Amino acid sequence: MSDFSGELTRPMAEADQVEKSMLSGTGMSIPWLRKQMETVETGGKKEKDFAKTTSACLGLIQEALLKHQWEKAAEYMHSYFQILEDSDAGKRQAAPEIIWRLGSEILYYHPKSNVETFSTFADRMKNIGVMNYLKSVLLLLQISLQHALYLLHHGMLEDANRSLSQAETWRYGEKSSSQDILINLVQAYKGLLQYYAWSKKKMELSKLDEEDYAYGTATQNMRSHSWKTSVNLSALIQIPGVWDPFVKSYVEMLEFYGDQDGAREVLTNYAYDEKFPSNPNAHVYLYNFLKREKAPKEKLISVLKILYQIVPSHKLMLEFHRILRNSDKEEHHKLGLEVLFAILDFAGCTKNITAWKYLAKYLKQILMGNHLAWVQDEWRSRKNWWPSFHFSYFWAKNDWTEDKALACEKALVAGILLGKGCRYFRYVSKQGHQGLKKKMKRMNRAVKSYSIVDP
Amino acid sequence: MDFPSSLRPTLFMSGPLGLSSVPNLSFMCSWRDALTLPESQPQSAENVAPHLARDLRWEPETPGPFPLLPPSPDPWDPGPTAHDLLFRGGHQSCRRPRATLDVTEQLSRFLWDHGDIAFGPLGNLMQENFKLEGARSRSKTKTVVSVKRLLQDLGGHQPWGCPWAYLSHRQRRFSILGGPVLGGPVASLLGELLKEELAGRWGQLLLDDAFTGGALAWVPGKMPLVGQLVYPNGGALDRLCFQEVSVTPGSDPQVLGDPGHIQLRGPVRQVVTRTVQGEALLAVRSDYHCAVWKVSKQGRPAPLQVLQVEKGATGINLSPHLPGELAVCSRSGAVCLWTPQDGLQQVYKDPETLVFRDPSPWRWADFTAHPRVLTVGDRTGVKMIDTQGPPGCGLLLFRGGAEASCQKGERVLLAQYLGESSPASLSPTLHLICTQFSLYLVDERLPLVPMLKWAHGLPSAPLMAQLLPAPCPGAPRPLLLGGQGGQLQLLHLSGEEVSVPRLAGPPQSLPARTDALSGFPLLEPASQRRLQERLDAPTIGLAAAVPPSASTSGLALFHLSKAGDVFYQHLRLQEGSSFCRDAGLPSDPSPEPHTPTAAAPTPSRTPTPTTASWTPQATAYCSRWLKALLKVPLPPPVWTAPTFSHRHLLGYKEQLQDGGKVLAGLRAAMTQGRLLRQRDVGSFPTAEPPPAPESGPEDELSERLDEAWEGRGADWWRRRQGRSLGLGHQPRRHKRRTQLSSTFSSLSGRWDLSDGPSPPPSPHRTSPVPRPLPPATPHSQGLTQELWTRGVPVERQQTLQDYMARLPSSGLGATSAPPSQASSIRSTPSRQQAPRKKSRMGF
């Protein structure tokens, strides 16, 4: 019996591809193979009428969905329920999931549907699952989870909580890992709901006077909430995955009750566990936590260093640069330059005026400090593409018309890196702008004294 | 760049494809993807995430696309179909059908069509054993065979694949003696190669990855409403055309002037265009060459450089960051960064695939948000490679495996960088990965974990995709996804930099080229079939232009088919879509407060999908195009095969006499003013094919039924017999094959009836069968039998004529009229009506 559980978790698309597609010689499965083969008359046995009508009906529903004909899709859906009586056990088993997917999609968009209709459908699906067709609890859990999410999305926290609590109790047969994960997920969502309630309480509490009688009960209340929540959340965040909302709320609660060590452990684990994907947010959360905790600079730098290796274009990198710039160590100063150059490598950051401003200023500072080699190090790998990427004539014109301040900063950098002859610098310096005369003069002087290009 | 501060919960599992125990958390419901978790505060839970736009929809203005440009004057051949390649017999299980390639049929077809090649050398060796002319045998040796007698026995046309074909003892002796000698070497030498070729063709039919990326491009021009379509044309798709088109919102596009063209030396497989820093570039990939042009402001292309790719190029892409930089990849597994100034720089080379072993040599390369980092893709995954870093290292961006909960057998078909330098509402770090089942959006800052997954369910390979600019600021960006079969889907992507990319509304399907059929006038069956075949041609290119307009958001969509046809469709963003109504408030973060019933939209906001109808202009385009299409000659028969049919030689005298009957019948019909039917003339007076297919045997039947109805059945029968007996020399051995042979030749049907008292074939057996089913077992019987079990096409008669010309004039008096002329009188009708030309596998 439990054999089916594996089959059931297969997504719908796959459930009917098992037969429609075939692993051709290359090992690739081709969903449209069946269609091609149907054009050739084979002497084989034909699909049964029942199977034909159901698969045709499925096709019609999908077509209607893609054409946004929700009413039509709903009508077809009526007929599609016949699949629940399919004599093919495999298909019958896969049916509830398909029905849930299509049905929920239809009801989500159907103009006459509302939260009640949706909930009724979800509850019926759960009943079908419990009573007749489901030998596995997995789909049930998925339905409950999605239903809860739907309710949550509509602001119905209590109903969502009820749906999740109900789901939590469903278990069937031998415990499988996927069932465990889903249960954990259900609990985590429940925890999140509790966190919302807790957070609300916290807001109310902040308005209350500490002397008030109500204050005591409220804190009591909160404590019980938080305890339940942490139980619910902690299990899931041990499993590899991206659990940003859960981790965030869990840490907030831990911090509120002064469990700094617990929070640090959770965040460190989330950021550094190798089984987890390299999620930039994990490092951001850890950094923010450490910052709140007023951790030593070295610690902050080491966290940001890793973030820098993962996402050099992250907006925290500007902050990283500031920290490095203000550090006492020389190697940090060098890294600060590296970080700035790296930010500006990315297509999405080319117009980041802060980064350009920092770079212009920092270049001057570095060159004044006689660290020409650092600049040359950075420039070596960029000198063959930065000129056309940043300092082309097109950008000079474009930047000047769009953002004169940006153009000035970039021109200064261009002048330092490429010399006075570079097109960007020449274009910008030639644009005699009244308000910027002084700035231009300064820029010219800076370029003259700092340019890394030999005259 | 901002990174989304909170990502959607996702389970992360590593492992191979198709781990069924992984609970699939991306449920592939469009609504599910749209739900994002509320941030921290419960208050904000009430006005969470932007609402899914139920009425976000691009409405097509006509029920289907219509042809924009006249069809190419070259004939087009759709190529082999599954019908040509697969074995059509045997018993199949319904659940797990297996495609079996029919090597034997193709092989015997080759032996038939190219007998001179297959048997020529051996024939030369054995020449002394054959006696070619009909003269009496002087030789007493048993090893000399008279060719004439043998040919007589063959009868010219034995039904294809008939296991009960009759064999004369002479034939049998010949086949026993000659079979091993003649069949063996050919079959063994050729069989293996043929099987390989067939497998290749079949694979290509299922997935033709040569056109990955699409071969149609829209180069915006000086004026915002005028641009150039760049597409290949001509029978071999080797002429690169530049057609200026102006798209005006609210009316049909104007084709400006004639297209300019550049003749290339190979078929165009991919056309890419990009405007970087005001410089429009055009890159073209052919099988073994790549080329770049620079398109001037006036729209004139100036060639920059051509690159030869020895192993075959599989992908080319232009950098969105640096003008004139390209990424090229080849079948050898090498990826190069190519700049016309500095030449090639090999970035990556690995003949093996990235994640697991896959035999496909297909490779792909594209750019990323970092101008010096490229993506390298194959069927199993996509990797990011730093061109400045040490060779070989990199980070996997997408892995065909449990990380993205891929299914068993799932393969990457397309990888595309979605970032552009244009003002974007999406983060410039997103990549689109398409497999045959799903579409993934992956952020290069969080590799391996897809940000969005959608099961597209397209019934063909999604090889073309294009992210279009938002119709108005703050609106979701349309992502076009095109299947090779012509199916189109449009997804609405939104997700400003701080939020996770998501579907802003339910994906929709757009009309395919086959939906254009209703725009054409009704045609006679043959032309209708031709039109349908043309509309069914695979899509090899997709381009879209968004003409800027103040009032309505429109989308001009161009399709290119493998036949070289460019179709056009205009789409309009539906009025109800709230995104562009208040364009002044881009990405308005304050949706109306939620009440439990807020999900139910007020009826007034309910979208009513308006049914598009054909505009007079569109139908005019259609009929103009159709007229031109019907003037295009049909593809000529690939090759005219020799024939061993000798019946023209033996029976043409009788046929000549028929001519008188034809004339008489024609006159009689004219005087009576009635329709001339086939029975009036016996056969057709000219080689002109009659329009109705398969009329021969049917007429025979109906004629007989007619007569029988009027009580003259026996009379008719006698008459027929008399006529048939007049053809005295005809072989009388076709008795059993009647029913099948009628398919091939209306003539054989008649002659077959000559067998005296045997009852005529029952009506249902004579009914025309488009293609006979070969029996389940004949293949074990070897080739020798199949050699003659096939109808003789008319195109072979020319060769026969040549063959005859070489023969010394026999006593049959073939001098007065060429035999082929006479024979064509009889045999053309049935052949010309054959439903479809049989493909000959390019021999």
CB-defined contacts A:B, below 8 A? 339
Q: Which two tokens stand for residue A7?
A: 């089959």
Tell me the per-residue pLDDT of B731-784, one tens digit each, with 9 for 90 and over: 443 333 333 223 223 332 333 333 334 333 444 433 343 443 333 333 333 333
The CA–CA distances, whole Å, from B347 to A423, B337, B342, B792 equal 30, 7, 14, 56
Check if A138 contacts B (Cβ < 8 Å). Answer: yes
Mutation pick from B33, B277, B777 vs chain A, by most beta carbons of A within 10 Å, is B277
Please list every residue in chain B whose beta carbon sits closer than 8 Å to the beta carbon of residue A6: 20-21
Q: What is the ipTM of this complex?
A: 0.90
Q: Indicate if the alpha-carbon torsion angle B88, B89, B95, B96 is positive or negative.
A: negative
Q: Which two tokens stand for residue B707?
A: 């007569």
Please list every residue in chain A whose beta carbon sits closer than 8 Å to the beta carbon of residue B207: 28, 30
Position B423 scores a pLDDT of 59
Candidate from A399-408, B30-39, B160-169, B727-736 with smallest mean pLDDT: B727-736
Do A284 and B5 count as a contact with CB atoms less than 8 A apart?
yes
Q: In sequence order, what are the residues at sequence separation of 6 or more whose Cβ sits closer than 8 angstroms to the Cβ of residue B357?
A: none
Please list every residue in chain B whose beta carbon sits closer than 8 Å to the beta carbon of residue A11: 24, 27-28, 405, 407, 455
Tell me the per-residue pLDDT of B517-561, one tens digit each, with 9 for 90 and over: 988 988 888 889 889 999 999 999 999 988 776 667 788 899 999
Please list every residue in chain A whose beta carbon sits closer than 8 Å to the beta carbon of residue B436: 28-31
* Nearest-CA distance B259 → chain A (Å): 30
Candidate from A170-179, A354-363, B24-33, B627-636 with smallest mean pLDDT: B24-33
CA separation for the pair B483, A66 (Å, rounded): 15
* Nearest-CA distance B813 → chain A (Å): 47
Q: In a 3-state reduction of DSSP, which class is residue B743?
A: helix
Please list every residue in chain B whose beta carbon sits closer than 8 Å to the beta carbon of residue A63: 509
The H or E element containing residue B178 is helix B169-206
Check if A43 contacts B (Cβ < 8 Å). Answer: yes
- H runs (alpha helix) in A352-392: 353-368, 372-380, 386-389
8 Å CB contact between A29 and B410: yes
| pLDDT greater at residue B420 or residue B26 | B420
**Bridge partners, B556 (sequence order):** B545, B570
What is the spatial order of strands in the sheet that B268-276 belongs to? B268-276, B279-286, B289-295, B301-308
First to last CA, chain A: 82
How many other CB atoms are found less than 10 A from the CB of residue B224? 13
Q: How confident is the model at residue B31 (pLDDT cuts 50, 70, 90)?
A: low
**Bridge partners, A28 (sequence order):** none
8 Å CB contact between B182 and B108: no
Position B802 scores a pLDDT of 52
Task: Over range B822-829, report the average pLDDT.
Answer: 37
Q: In sequence order, what are the residues at sequence separation of 6 or more whose Cβ sits closer than 8 angstroms to the Cβ of residue B118?
A: B110, B111, B186, B190
8 Å CB contact between B513 and B562: no
Tell me the per-residue pLDDT of B313-363, one tens digit each, with 9 for 90 and over: 999 999 999 998 999 999 999 999 999 888 888 999 998 999 998 888 999
Do A240 and B369 count as a contact with CB atoms less than 8 A apart?
no
Position B568 scores a pLDDT of 92
Please list every residue in chain B whose beta carbon sits closer than 8 Å to the beta carbon of residue A346: 1, 369-370, 428
8 Å CB contact between B199 and B783: no
CA separation for the pair B444, B384 (Å, rounded): 8
Check if A176 contacts B (Cβ < 8 Å). Answer: yes
Position A13 scores a pLDDT of 38
How many other CB atoms are found less than 10 A from the CB of residue B315? 26
Q: Within 13 Å and on the Cβ side, how many CA atoms surround A429?
A: 22
Where do we find the tokens 């599954």?
B82
Check if A111 contacts B (Cβ < 8 Å). Answer: yes
Closest CA to A74 of A115, A117, A116: A117
Do A19 and B81 count as a contact with CB atoms less than 8 A apart?
no
| pLDDT greater at residue B181 or residue B84 | B84
DSSP structure string for A285-349: HHHHHHHHTT--HHHHHHHHHHHHHH-TT-THHHHHHHHHHTSS-HHHHHHHHHHHHHHHTSGGG
Do B599 and A113 count as a contact with CB atoms less than 8 A apart?
yes
Q: Which two tokens stand for residue A373?
A: 């080699």
Where do we find the tokens 């749906």?
A163
Q: Which of residues 349-408 of A touch B (CB under 8 A)?
A: 349, 381, 385, 388-389, 392, 394-395
The H or E element containing residue B55 is none
Please list every residue in chain B whose beta carbon sits closer than 8 Å to the beta carbon of residue A36: 82, 99, 205-206
8 Å CB contact between B787 and B111: yes
Tell me the pLDDT of chain A (455 aa) as tens digits: 333 333 333 333 333 443 344 445 678 888 888 777 777 765 555 567 777 888 888 889 888 888 888 888 888 888 888 887 777 777 777 777 788 888 888 888 888 888 888 888 888 888 776 655 445 677 778 888 888 888 887 878 888 888 888 887 776 666 667 777 888 888 888 888 888 888 888 888 777 766 666 677 777 777 777 777 777 888 888 889 999 989 988 998 888 888 889 999 999 999 999 999 999 999 999 999 999 989 999 999 999 999 999 999 998 999 999 999 998 888 999 999 999 999 999 988 888 999 999 999 999 888 888 888 999 999 999 988 999 999 999 999 999 999 888 998 999 999 889 888 888 988 988 886 666 777 777 778 877 777 777 65
Tell me the per-residue pLDDT of B107-119, one tens digit each, with 9 for 90 and over: 877 777 777 777 7
Position B404 scores a pLDDT of 86
* Nearest-CA distance B22 → chain A (Å): 6
* Closest residue, chain A, to B38 (C-alpha): A153
List of domains in chain B: 56-73+207-562+612-630 (2.130.10.10), 101-205 (no CATH)
Check if A153 contacts B (Cβ < 8 Å). Answer: yes
Position B134 scores a pLDDT of 53
* Nearest-CA distance A383 → chain B (Å): 12
Do A68 and B776 count as a contact with CB atoms less than 8 A apart?
no
Please list every residue in chain B whose beta carbon sits closer than 8 Å to the beta carbon of residue A23: 408-409
* Nearest-CA distance A419 → chain B (Å): 21
Check if A274 contacts B (Cβ < 8 Å). Answer: no
Share of chain B above pLDDT 90, in %: 23
Do A347 and B322 count as a contact with CB atoms less than 8 A apart?
no
CA-angle at A217, arms to A211 and A220, nearest 5°: 115
Q: Which amino acid is at B801?
A: Q
Of B6, B207, B372, the CB nearest to A245: B6
Please list every residue in chain A whose beta carbon sits closer than 8 Å to the beta carbon of residue B506: 65, 68, 105, 109
Tell me the per-residue pLDDT of B184-209, one tens digit each, with 9 for 90 and over: 777 777 788 888 888 888 888 888 98
Position A289 scores a pLDDT of 94
Tell me the per-residue pLDDT of B560-575, one tens digit each, with 9 for 90 and over: 999 999 999 988 887 6
